[in-house]
Amino acid sequence: MSATDPQPNPHAARPCAAGDLQRIAARESVLGEGMKIRRALPTRERRTIGAWCFLDHFGPIGVEHGAGLRVGPHPHTGLQTFTWPIAGEILHRDSLGYQQVIRPGQVNLMTAGRGISHSEESPTDRSPTLHGAQLWIALPDSHRHIDPAFEHYADIPSLERDGYRITVMAGEALGLRSPVRLYSPLVGLELLSAKGGTLALPLQPDFEYGVLVLEGAIRFCGETAKPGELLYVPTGHHHADVHSDGASRTLLLGGTPFTDGLLMWWNFIGREKEEITQYVRDWNAGADSMGNVKGYDGARLVAPLPPWAQPQGE
Ligand code: MN
């Protein structure tokens, strides 16, 4: 560190207040075979919060009848997928051979590194409702080509405070540490309240944060938040007041601003256009580098060619 480093001055940190927050509307998108989801990152206004680079809120949706969630085999590079169901189950299969049903309170963490593929589906034996979040974490330059990996975490730490159950899904907070393997300074908390309450929550001044409400409504630093939007909290704050009048469930995702230049296309993260084009061609050609998912009853997805690689005139 030197005097010229753009580190936030800890003496300048203060509690966050309503005027500090940016409100970003999530956009509707479709996951797999027709499941509508709300995507809060990336948006036109903001691409990352720390290394969190993709925030999908899916459901609640009835899956008792019909096929439920079905996302056929598809690849990833340069990121970790972080799956957090709050109702229902998802069956994951990947090209490393892992097959894992995830349930509420658990984390499935798939580290793509240089390349992996997986499928996600509602298992045959399932609860009537599916609801949750799938988040992506960009890998920093130092780790984006590591070997692919899959980890299932059944035991995620939590504590009760001020009418909230606070679960430390990722990183460290309030003296608890999540076991989830990360490669950059990050935190992910779930704030669950059955009847409402007011919570005084410490923030890390060098972290920026995103507030994603999954159920109910809250006030965060005096600003109302509800499902379908993201509140962005810039660095420089050491404290947040969280208030809800009734039942609510909120994800608070933070990290040090991600400075490695990202190029995201479809399910790939890279740095250069040529690199992404190669990933698309490799996957569509069935190259070994992206792996092969066994056991999914359906077709693998086809990677769309990025606009810069389209033949001229099309
Ligand atoms: Mn995926």
Average pLDDT over residues 18-41: 91
Q: How far is the CA of 160 from the centre of ligand 1 (A)?
A: 32
Per DSSP, the three-state class of 309 is helix
CA distance 159 to 88: 23
pTM to 2 decimal places? 0.94
pLDDT band (50, 70, 90) for residue 34: confident
Q: How far is the CA of 269 from the centre of ligand 1 (A)?
A: 12
> Is residue 30 within 8 Å of residue 36, measured between CB atoms?
yes
Pairing of strands 70-76, 172-173: unpaired
Instruction: Specify the pLDDT at position 1.
Output: 46
CA distance 88 to 85: 7
Q: How far is the CA of 199 from the centre of ligand 1 (A)?
A: 34
Instruction: Specify the pLDDT at position 90.
Output: 97
Our CA angle for 121, 79, 298, nearest 5°, is 25
Q: Which residues of 15-37 are buried (b: 16+ CB within 10 A; e: fewer)?
A: ebeeebbeebebeeeebbeebeb
* Distances from the Cα of 227 to the Cα of 35, 43, 44, angstroms: 17, 16, 18
Q: How far is the CA of 216 from the centre of ligand 1 (A)?
A: 27
- pLDDT digits over 156-166, tens only? 999 999 999 99
Coarse DSSP helix, strand, coil percentages of the chain, rounded to the nearest 5 percent = 10, 50, 45
Kindly tell me if the per-residue pLDDT of 5 is higher than 70.
no
Structure tokens at 10: 């800890």
Q: Is the peptide bond before 311 cis (omega within 30 degrees of 0)?
A: no
Q: How far is the CA of 74 from the centre of ligand 1 (A)?
A: 6
Average pLDDT over residues 228-246: 97
Pairing of strands 237-244, 14-15: parallel
Average pLDDT over residues 288-314: 91
> Is residue 225 within 8 Å of residue 181, measured between CB atoms?
no
Choice among 5-9, 68-72, 155-159, 272-276 with the minimum mean pLDDT: 5-9
Q: How far is the CA of 254 from the centre of ligand 1 (A)?
A: 22
Q: Please give the radius of gyration of the chain, using alpha carbons only, rounded to the nearest integer.
A: 19
CA distance 27 to 292: 31
Give the DSSP H or E segment for 283.
helix 273-284
Q: How far is the CA of 267 from the centre of ligand 1 (A)?
A: 7
Q: How far is the CA of 208 from the centre of ligand 1 (A)?
A: 25
Q: Is the peptide bond before 257 cis (omega within 30 degrees of 0)?
A: no
- pLDDT digits over 73-125, tens only? 999 999 999 999 999 999 999 999 999 999 999 999 999 999 999 999 999 99
* Distances from the Cα of 202 to the Cα of 48, 176, 206, 247, 255, angstroms: 21, 13, 12, 22, 14
Average pLDDT over residues 230-243: 98
Instruction: Specify the pLDDT at position 4.
Output: 53
Average pLDDT over residues 297-307: 96
- pLDDT digits over 158-216, tens only? 999 999 999 999 999 999 999 999 999 999 999 999 999 999 999 999 999 999 999 99
Q: How far is the CA of 183 from the centre of ligand 1 (A)?
A: 19
Kindly tell me if the per-residue pLDDT of 219 is higher than 80.
yes
pLDDT band (50, 70, 90) for residue 312: confident
Q: Which amino acid is residue 100, in one-letter code?
A: Q
Pairing of strands 107-111, 52-62: unpaired
Instruction: Specify the pLDDT at position 168.
Output: 98
Structure tokens at 159: 């504590």
Q: How far is the CA of 262 from the centre of ligand 1 (A)?
A: 18
Q: How far is the CA of 57 from the centre of ligand 1 (A)?
A: 14
Mean pLDDT for the chain overall: 94
Q: How far is the CA of 242 from the centre of ligand 1 (A)?
A: 32
Give the contacts of 11 (CB within 8 A, at least 6 positions apart).
none
CA distance 84 to 132: 6
